[in-house]
C-alpha cells in the first residue's frame, strides 16, 4: 500500500513539474506566398504564359501547370471539370534572372497556373497567340504578398 502511495505521489509530482516547464524554442511555420491564375479558357493557338523575375536575392519558387478536361454540365449550366494533367517544377532564380513557363491549352477546356514561394514576388500572367507571338490578353499582374 505504501509503495502505491509513493508511486502515485511521484507520478503526480512529475505531471505537475512537466506542466510548469516551458520551452524557449518555438515552431514557426514557413510562410507561403501564392499567385494563382484560376482556371483560364484558351482559344485555338493560345498559351498561358507566367513570368517571375528575381528581385534582390536568389530565391526558389514552385511553378505548377494544371490542364483541365471538359466535364458534364447540369440543366442549370454548371459544369464540372477534371484535372487532365498536372506538372510542377522547382526553379531557382539568381540576381538579374527571370523565368517564364508556358501552359498550352487543352483544346477542350481550361488551364491554370500557380506560382508558390516563401518570398513575396510579382508574377505576370498573359495569354499569348503562338502563331504571331502577340500578347492577346494580360490576365493580371499577380502580386503574392
Rounded Cα distance between 143 and 119, Å, is: 11
pLDDT band at 7 (very low <50, low <70, confident <90, very high): very low
The pLDDT, as a whole number, for residue 19 is: 35
* Helices assigned H by DSSP within 58-123: none
Q: In degrees to the nearest 10, what's the CA dihedral of 61, 124, 65, 80?
A: 130
* Percent of the chain clearing pLDDT 70 (strictly above): 72
The reported pLDDT for the residue numbered 145 is 56
Mean pLDDT in the chain?
A: 77
Q: Tens of pLDDT along 60-111?
A: 999 999 999 877 889 998 888 889 899 999 999 888 888 999 999 877 688 9
Whether the predicted pLDDT of 36 surpasses 60: yes
Specify the residue for cell string 501552359.
103
Of 56, 34, 42, nearest to 123 by C-alpha is: 34
What is the Rg, in whole angstroms, of the alpha carbon atoms belonging to the chain?
Answer: 26
Amino acid at each position: 500500500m505504501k509503495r502505491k502511495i509513493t508511486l502515485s505521489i511521484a507520478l503526480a509530482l512529475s505531471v505537475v513539474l512537466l506542466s510548469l516547464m516551458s520551452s524557449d524554442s518555438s515552431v514557426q511555420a514557413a510562410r507561403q506566398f501564392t499567385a494563382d491564375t484560376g482556371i483560364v479558357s484558351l482559344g485555338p493557338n493560345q498559351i498561358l504564359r507566367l513570368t517571375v523575375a528575381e528581385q534582390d536575392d536568389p530565391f526558389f519558387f514552385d511553378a505548377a501547370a494544371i490542364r483541365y478536361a471538359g466535364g458534364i454540365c447540369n440543366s442549370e449550366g454548371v459544369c464540372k471539370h477534371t484535372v487532365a494533367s498536372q506538372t510542377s517544377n522547382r526553379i531557382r532564380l539568381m540576381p538579374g534572372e527571370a523565368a517564364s513557363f508556358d501552359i498550352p491549352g487543352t483544346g477542350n477546356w481550361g488551364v491554370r497556373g500557380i506560382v508558390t514561394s516563401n518570398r513575396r514576388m510579382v508574377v505576370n500572367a498573359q495569354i499569348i497567340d503562338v502563331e504571331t507571338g502577340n500578347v492577346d490578353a494580360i490576365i493580371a499582374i499577380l502580386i503574392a504578398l
